């Protein structure tokens, strides 16, 4: 079970969530988000992070989050910030996903199972990336609302391909979300913050501990 902590803006937060056991860090390049980080600051952060972790062994994946932005800009940020994956969280047409190559994946916010089926046909996944991220539906929003999504819709897709589950996850509901959906990984931002864009180390640890505890219980049942 992968854990992605999204909306990282400082090297201190990055190091803290890695030490807590996160597998993936998300950097939000959408200026309309309270978790926005500009590419220059992200470049500096990643350099500091790589320097700080030089003597440590951590397998962490860096994900850039983009919303309706130009593919050339996305390519440049992906390269300059040493990212591993590209998450498209806007209204991008399928051609953009295809143009960005095998490291890109689409975030979906379906309002129904029918809408989900339509979306997955439009955005076929690349083998080197998660199938899709499934977030909660809210008109006019591009994620990060803190609202819990429809786990029944997400479960339909998780039964077919690896997905990242997002939408209102917190330490007190993530185990139940995993039990109901069966995702490949979980994604959290507001659920581990003390204020929009401000990560709370205690909440991060509690969230990751809840995920790992559920995994251990499940393994013991088997």
CB 188 within 8 A of CB 169: yes
Q: How far apart are CA 129 and CA 107, in angstroms?
A: 12
CB 83 within 8 A of CB 108: no
Q: Catalytic annotation on 81?
A: no
The answer for residues whose C-beta is within 8 angstroms of residue 184's C-beta and 6 or more apart is 1, 2, 130, 131, 158, 162, 163, 164
CB 76 within 8 A of CB 101: no
Q: Count how many Cα atoms sit within 13 Å of the Cα of residue 102 in the half-sphere of its side chain.
A: 2
Q: How far apart are CA 33 and CA 5, in angstroms?
A: 15
Q: Which of 6, 13, 23, 42 is catalytic?
A: 6
Q: Catalytic annotation on 6?
A: yes
User: 183, exposed or middle or buried, with CB in 10 Å at 0-12, 13-18, 19+?
Assistant: buried
Q: Which of 13, 23, 135, 187 is catalytic?
A: 135
Q: Supply the residues annotated as catalytic.
A: 6, 135
């Amino acid at each position: 079970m992968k854990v992605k902590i999204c909306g990282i803006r400082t090297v201190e937060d990055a190091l803290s969530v890695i030490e807590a056991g996160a597998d993936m860090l998300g950097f939000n390049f959408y200026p309309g988000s309270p978790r926005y980080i500009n590419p220059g600051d992200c470049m500096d952060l990643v350099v500091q992070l790589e320097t700080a972790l030089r003597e440590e062994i951590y397998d962490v994946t860096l994900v850039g989050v983009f919303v309706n932005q130009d593919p050339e800009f996305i390519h440049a940020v992906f390269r300059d910030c040493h990212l591993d994956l590209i998450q498209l969280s806007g209204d991008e047409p399928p051609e953009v996903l295809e143009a960005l190559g095998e490291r890109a994946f689409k975030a979906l916010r379906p309002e129904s199972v029918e809408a989900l089926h339509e979306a997955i046909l439009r955005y076929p996944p690349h083998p080197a990336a998660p199938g899709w991220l499934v977030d909660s539906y809210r008109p006019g929003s591009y994620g990060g609302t803190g609202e819990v999504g429809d786990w029944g819709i997400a479960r339909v897709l998780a039964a077919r391909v690896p997905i990242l589950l997002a939408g209102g996850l917190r330490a007190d509901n993530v185990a139940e979300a995993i039990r109901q959906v069966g995702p490949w990984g979980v994604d959290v931002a507001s659920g581990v913050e003390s204020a929009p864009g401000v990560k709370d180390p205690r909440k991060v640890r509690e969230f990751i501990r809840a995920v790992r505890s559920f995994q251990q219980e499940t393994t013991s049942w088997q």
